[in-house]
Structure 1
Amino acid sequence: MCTYGYCRISTKQQSIDRQIRNIKGSYDKAVIIQEVYTGTKQDRPEWNKLYKKAKAGDTIIFDSVSRMSRNADEGFCLYEELYNKGIELVFLKEPHINTSTYKKALESNISMTGTNVDFILEGVNKYLMSLAKEQIRLAFEQSEKEVQDLHQRTKEGIETARLNGKQIGQKQGAKLTTKKSIEAKKQIQKHSKDFNGALSDADCMKLIGLARNTFYKYKRELKAE
């Protein structure tokens, strides 16, 4: 039996350390699986590997339900698939939908009595199970809603800025300065015969490893400076 901790961020600019720390804090022997991929899609490379590898008796831990999925329908179906495979699911921030909680709902079914009231007890059992399933579905729906709200706030923020006359994105013709461009320009100044070097444009491009368009763009900017 193996214990895995699945940690996911949507962009490389985000930090995954908090999720790892939270999982390791509760399950110090968990094997951490890390991924940079949007949670609105199930076709994630590292998740797919874990899904195929996990077997009955294994445990998968998530910092929150949003790390598993941010699509309500797919997330709920995935939860049931893993549950039926005998895999334990743990959500640190939503323990009420851990598979252990779901199992308790199954095991706490009211026993039939063999009398005329059994149809009532059967109805109660079905209600308890539907209630457990609804809690799980609601957790995934909330996760999906958070994404939709974020997209809506971003859209509204951009529209507000536009209406207030603010520049959205980079201005046309504006020069974008990055660490890479700064270093590349230093190398052009050092090696290009148009500046302090002795290399032709072709040799300079090969030495620095720049594409033709980028090289000449940087040269124009250097001359303008």
Structure 2
Amino acid sequence: MKEEYGYCRISTPKQNISRQERNILEVYPAAHIVKEVYTGTKTTGRKEWNKLHKLVKQEAVAGKEITIIFDSVSRMSRNADEGFQLYEELFNMGISLVFLKEPHINTDTYKKALESNIQMTGTNVDFILEGINKYLLSLAKEQIRIAFEQAEKEVLDLHQRTSEGIKTAKLNGKQIGRIKGNKYTTKKETAAKEIILKNSKDFNGTNTDSEVIKIAGISRNSYYKYKAELKAAAGN
């Protein structure tokens, strides 16, 4: 029995995950899509991945034919050592891995490389052939490791560019982030205060505190905090 899973991951909720999902379903329309929003480079804190990882291992032990599809290698891991170890773990369990943007490291390709060993001849040249086979295996593994190292490098480069951008902005006199000690008013707070001023008996209205809280749709703590700030601003 075959099971196909497409794993999609984005770093922030603002990013669009649909592109990854669309790319996977175009090639594997029957794939069960697993979505995740997680920033870190390692898989440790990825709840959805960890659930999928546990599930596919159980299914592989039960004899199912499992395939996991990723839009790119960076969706699996952006940590080179962890990614390579995870790849080998799943490969050794018979689980197929597909990377749409890096098909040269798909497990099927890796498997063919392992199976294309030169056959021994039973003669004195076998030690040379054995050396060639080891080299070919080492070359296949190196291609996989390079792919994960590239994914890790992309993260490091992004952090470096961000850091350099912040330094440049500071040198140019630009404010980065909020100024310490400054109070920032949100649109929600402004709207709530307008409702309090208009409706509360303490100001221009005829409604009780409980009634104004319902009208404004805010918590009691926020209401009394805003009301206190309005009184202080009015000099009461």
Work out whether the TM-score is over 0.5.
yes
**CA apart distance, 1:123:** 0.4
User: In the alignment, which residue of structure 1 is the partner of 2:30?
Assistant: 29
User: In the alignment, which residue of structure 2 is the partner of 1:52?
Assistant: 54
User: In the alignment, which residue of structure 2 is the partner of 1:138?
Assistant: 146
Distance 1:76 1:222 in 2: 62
Alpha-carbon displacement from aligned partner over 1:120-146 (angstroms, at most 9, x marks no partner): 000000000000000000000000000
**CA apart distance, 1:199:** 2.4
RMSD: 2.7
CA 217–3 in structure 1, closer or farther in 2 if over 3 Å, else same:
same
Alpha-carbon displacement from aligned partner over 1:127-183 (angstroms, at most 9, x marks no partner): 0000000000000000000000100110110011001100111234252434x4455
Distance 2:149 2:97 in 1: 18
CA 206–122 in structure 1, closer or farther in 2 if over 3 Å, else same:
farther
User: In the alignment, which residue of structure 2 is the partner of 1:73?
Assistant: 81
TM-score by length of 2: 0.85
**CA apart distance, 1:81:** 0.5
Q: Does 1:13 align with 2:19?
A: no
Distance 1:222 1:109 in 2: 83
* Structure 2 letter corresponding to 1:77: Q
TM-score by length of 1: 0.89
Match of 1:150 among 158, 164, 171: 158
**CA apart distance, 1:219:** 6.4
CA 200–134 in structure 1, closer or farther in 2 if over 3 Å, else same:
same
Distance 2:137 2:223 in 1: 62
Distance 2:214 2:42 in 1: 40
Q: Does 1:62 align with 2:93?
A: no
What residue ranges of structure 1 are gaps of 5+ in the alignment? none
* Structure 1 letter corresponding to 2:221: R
* Structure 2 letter corresponding to 1:102: Y
User: What fraction of aligned residue pairs are identical, expressed as a percent?
Assistant: 62
Aligned residues: 224
Is the CA contact 1:24–1:30 (under 8 Å) kept in the aligned structure 2? yes
